Amino acid sequence: MASEQHLSAIKGAKVLMVGAGGIGCELLKTLALSGFKDIHIIDMDTIEVSNLNRQFLFRQSHVGESKAKVARDAVLKFRPDISITPYHANVKDPEFNVDFFKQFNVILNGLDNLDARRHVNRLCLAAGVPLIESGTTGFLGQVTVHVKGRTECYECQTKPAPKTYPVCTISSTPSKFVHCIVWAKDLLFAKLFGDKNQQNDLNVRSSNVSSSSQQTEDVFERQIDEDIEQYGRRLYDHVFGYNIELALSNEETWRHRNRPRPIYVKDIIPTELIHENGDLDKDSIIGDSSVSAMATLGLKNPQDLWSLKENSKLFFEALKLFFLKREKEIGNLIFDKDDQLAVEFVTAAANIRASSFGIPLHSLFEAKGIAGNIVHAVATTNAIIAGLIVIEAIKVLQNNVKDYRMTYCLEHPSKKMLLMPVEPFEPNKSCYVCSETPLTLEINTHHSKLRDLVEKIVKAKLGMNLPLIMHGSVLLYEVGDDLEENEVANYAANLEKVLSELPSPITGGTILTVEDLQQELKCSINIKHREQFDEEKEPDGMILFGWTQALAVEKNYNGASTSQATSLNTEEDEELQFIPTQIGKKRKLSDNFITASSDNSCIPKETKIKRKADEVDCNNGNSDYGREKMEQ
C-alpha cells in the first residue's frame, strides 16, 4: 500500500523545507527517496565541523560552504532526476513573503529556534499552507502538524521562553555555575574585548560605597605601554578580589547567603611563576581563530577539571594572547562558542568566580556547552523525526485530516511506546496569532516609553520582525527600507517619548493595532493604565494578557561526561516522566514542545541580552540576561 496510493500525491507536490541542518539533511534524503520531485530548501548557515557527526550530507571538505547548496548537490547524486532549489538565506528575509509561501503544498520545518519557527508559523497561516513542525534534543523529538482552522497553530500554546537571570544574581550573588558563565561572557568578556560603548554592569554598585566611575573604568583599560602581566594582575585583583570585598561590605546581601571569598593573584600564583607561564614562541605563526591558551599552557583535555591555579594561569594566558595576537579585534569582539580563545577566557574567568562563591568548577567542554547554549544532538533522533515528518507530509498532501498525528519520540517507553502518536489539538480560540483575539496590556502610560513597548512586547513577546504600530489612523511607529527621512526621524523621536505624551497619546482605554506586514499578522492591544509594578516579579514594568509566557524550565547544562553526568539524566528523566502522565490531559502535553532543536539556525547568530536601560543598582536590579538556547 505504501507507494502506489501515496505516489501520485507525492509526485505532484511542491514542498518547502526550512532548515538544512540535522533534521534537514535527513529530511531531504528521505523526501528524495520517497519520490518527492520538487523540493525547495532555505538555510542561511554554513557548514561547521561539529555538524559532521550527524549532518551526513556534508564532508570535511565542505566546511564553510552553504548548507542548502551542498545538501542539494549531495542528494542529486543518488536522485539526479529530481528538482531541488536551494536558498542560502534567512527565512525571515522579505523575499520569502506570503506569495512565496503560497506556491507550496506543505512547509516542513527543521529549525532550531523559536523566533524563526514563529515567523514561519505566521507565514503559513497567512498563506493558508499546512506546516509540519519538528524538533529534537538528544534522544527526544517531536513532529506536529498545523493546518489552519483544523489543528492548533504553532503558537496556540505558549512555549517556554529563554531563561533569563536577574542582573543582581549575575553581577553580585551567583549561586550556580551558569551565573558565573553569564558573568564571564556577558559582563567581563564584553567589557574587556567588546564594544566599549555598550552599557555594562560589571562593577557592582553597593549602596554603601560609591566609587568614582572614572577610577573603575581605568581598571579595565590597559594603559599605554603597560606591561601585559602588570595589567592582568591589576585586572584579576580588581574583579576577583576588590570587587568581592566591595560586595562583602554590604552586609544586608549576605545575611541569608554564603559569603564569597575574595581571590587575589598573589595567593594563587606567586609572581615568578607567571613568567614561566606558557610558551608563546613555540607556535607564534598562527592564525586568529587557532590561537589557544590551552595549547601554549600544555593543557590537553578539554574535559578535564582544572584547579583554581590552572584556571588562573589560563586566565592570564588567554588575556595575554588576546593582546598579543588579536589586538586589532579588541573593542569589536562578540563571544562566539567557536572562538577557542574566547571560550578559554570565559571558562577560566567563570571558574575563578565560581571558586570565589563556593560553586563547583567545570571543565572547558562543559563551560563551552553552557556559554554557547549548545544543544545535544545525535543522528538517530534526527533520522527518526525526519521519517515521521514525511509520513505526516504524505497525509497532509492526501488531505487525510482524520489521520493527522503529532508524534513524540521518547527516550524511555511510555505505555510500551517509544514513538507515541497523539491526535492533534483543535485551534485555541483565544490564540492571538490564529484567531484575532485582542490582547490586554497593563502598563504605566505616564512612565513607559514607546521604545519599551516595542522592545519588550512587540518584538520580544509577539515576535514581530518588522512591526507597525497604529493608534486609530495615526501611525506611531514603523520600520522598513522605503521610509522617508522625516518619517524615520519622526518614529525615532516617538520611540523616546512616554506613551501618554505621544502625538496621539496612549492612555488607559486606548486600543492599539500592531501589525507585521511581512508575517501578515495583525493584533489589537487594549491598554490599561497601571501605576505600580513589582520590580522582582514584574521586571518589565508591564504585563501582557492573552499571551501568557510559560515559565522557563531551568536547564542543567552539564555535559554527560564527567561526575556531573547525573544532571543530564535528571533533566531528561523529568521531561520524560512528564509526557506520559500528561496523556490524559492532552492540552498540557505540548508544554514539552522542544523549541530548540539541535540543528541549524536561520536567524542571525547573536547572544541575546535583554537589558533594561536603567542604571543598575544591586538592590534595585531589574535587567535580565537572557539566554536563548539554540545551536550556533
Partner 1 sequence: MDGEELTEHETALYDRQIRVWGADAQRRLSKSHILVSGLKGTVVEFCKNIVLAGVGSVTLNDDRLVTEELLSANFLIPLDENVYAGKTLAELCCDSLKDFNPMVRVSVEKGALSNFGVDFFDKFDVVVVSCCSLSTKKSVNEKCRKLSKRMAFYTVDCRDNCGEIFVDLQNYIYSKKKDDETFQCHLDYPSFVEAIAVPWKSLPRRVSKLYLAMRVMEKYEELEGRVPGETSAADLLNVQKLRKELCEAHSVSESQIPDSILQRLLEGRQEFPPVCAIIGGILGQEVIKAISGKGDPLKNFFFFDAMDGKGIIEDISEQKAQG
Annotated binding site: 19-24, 43, 51-54, 67, 112-117, 153, 156, 431, 434
Count of H-run helices and E-run strands, the chain: 22, 16
Among 407, 428, 595, 622, binds partner 1 (CB under 8 A): 407
Q: In whole angstroms, what is the distance from residue 242 CA to residue 359 CA? A: 19
| Identified binder of partner 1 from the candidate list 118, 376, 471, 627, rule CB under 8 A | 376
CA dist 108 → 144, 159, 444 (Å): 10, 19, 42
Q: Torsion angle of alpha carbons 72, 74, 78, 83, nearest 10°? A: 10
> Cβ of residue 150: shortest distance to Zn ion, in angstroms?
12
Stretch 392-451 residues interacting with Zn ion (CB under 5 A) = 431, 433-434
Nearer to Zn ion, 24 or 160 (CB): 160
Closest listed residue to residue 430, CA positions, set 307, 548, 254: 548
CB of 44 to partner 1, least distance (A): 19
Q: How many residues sit in the footprint of Zn ion (CB under 5 A)?
A: 5
Q: Which amino acid is at 105?
A: N
Contacts 24+ apart (CB under 8 A), 210-218: 211/246
CB 207 within 8 A of CB 222: no
CA 627, 135, 123, 585 dihedral sign is: negative
Q: Is 417 in the site for partner 1 (CB under 8 A)?
A: yes
Give the residues across from 131 on adjacent strands. Answer: 107, 146
Does 462 engage in binding with Zn ion (CB under 5 A)?
no
Binding string to partner 1 for residues 139 to 158, with x set by CB under 8 A, is what? x-------------------
Binding mask 246-275 for partner 1 (x = CB under 8 A): ------------------------------
Which triple of cell numbers denotes residue 292? 589557544
From the list 10-18, 54-62, 149-157, 209-217, the region that binds Zn ion by CB under 5 A is 149-157
Which amino acid is residue 343, in one-letter code? V
Q: Site for partner 1 (CB under 8 A): which residue of 3, 210, 212, 214?
A: 3
Four-CA torsion 235, 236, 237, 240, nearest 10 degrees: 120
Q: Cα separation of 614 and 622, whole Å?
A: 8
- Residue 290 binds partner 1, judged by CB under 8 A: no
Interactions with partner 1, residue window 75-104 (CB under 8 A): 75, 77-80
Annotated binding site for Zn(2+): 153, 156, 431, 434
Select the residue interacting with partner 1 from 349, 350, 367, 377 (CB under 8 A). Answer: 377
CB 4 within 8 A of CB 97: no
For the chain, how big is the Rg over CA atoms in Å? 26
For 14, 134, 151, the CA distances from 388, given in Å and listed in that order, are 18, 9, 18
- Rounded least distance, CB 129 to Zn ion, Å: 15
To partner 1, the closest distance from the beta carbon of 29 in angstroms equals 5
Q: Which is nearer to partner 1, 230 or 561 (by Cβ)?
A: 561
The answer to whether 96 and 42 have CB atoms below 8 angstroms apart is: yes
**Beta strands of 536-580 (E only): which ranges?**
542-545
Q: Cell numbers 517507553 label which residue?
A: 413
Q: Considering the complex, what minimum distance in angstroms separates the CB of residue 375 from Zn ion?
A: 25
Question: How many Cα atoms are found within 13 Å in the side-chain-facing hemisphere of 58?
Answer: 29
- Minimum distance from CB of 569 to partner 1 (Å)? 5
| DSSP letter, residue 143 | E
* Cα 341 to Cα 338: distance, rounded to the nearest angstrom: 9
Contact characters 11-50, partner 1, x per CB under 8 A:
---------------x--xx-xxx--------------xx
| Residue 50: contacted member of Zn ion, partner 1, none (CB under 5 to 8 Å, by partner type) | partner 1
419 contacts partner 1 (rule: CB under 8 A): yes
Taken in order 604, 610, 612, 618, the sign of the CA dihedral is negative
DSSP E strands, 280-416 = 406-414
Quick one: what does residue 153 bind among partner 1, Zn ion, none, with the CB cut-off 5 to 8 Å set by partner type?
Zn ion
- Give the nearer residue to Zn ion in terms of CB position, either 133 or 572: 133
* 504 near partner 1, judged by CB under 8 A: no
Which of partner 1, Zn ion, none is residue 514 near (CB under 5 to 8 Å by kind)? none
Is-catalytic flag, 168?
yes
Taking the C-alpha atoms of residue 510 and residue 472, their distance in angstroms, rounded to an integer, is: 9
Catalytic residue among 25, 124, 168, 602: 168
We find the least distance from the C-beta atom of residue 400 to partner 1, in angstroms, to be: 11
Residues lying near Zn ion in the complex (CB under 5 A): 153, 156, 431, 433-434
Would you please indicate which residues are annotated as catalytic (active-site) residues?
A: 168
Residues lying near partner 1 in the complex (CB under 8 A): 1-3, 26, 29-30, 32-34, 49-50, 52-54, 56, 59-60, 75, 77-80, 138-139, 300-303, 365, 369, 374-384, 386-388, 390-391, 405, 407, 409, 411-413, 416-421, 559-562, 565-566, 568-570, 573, 598, 631
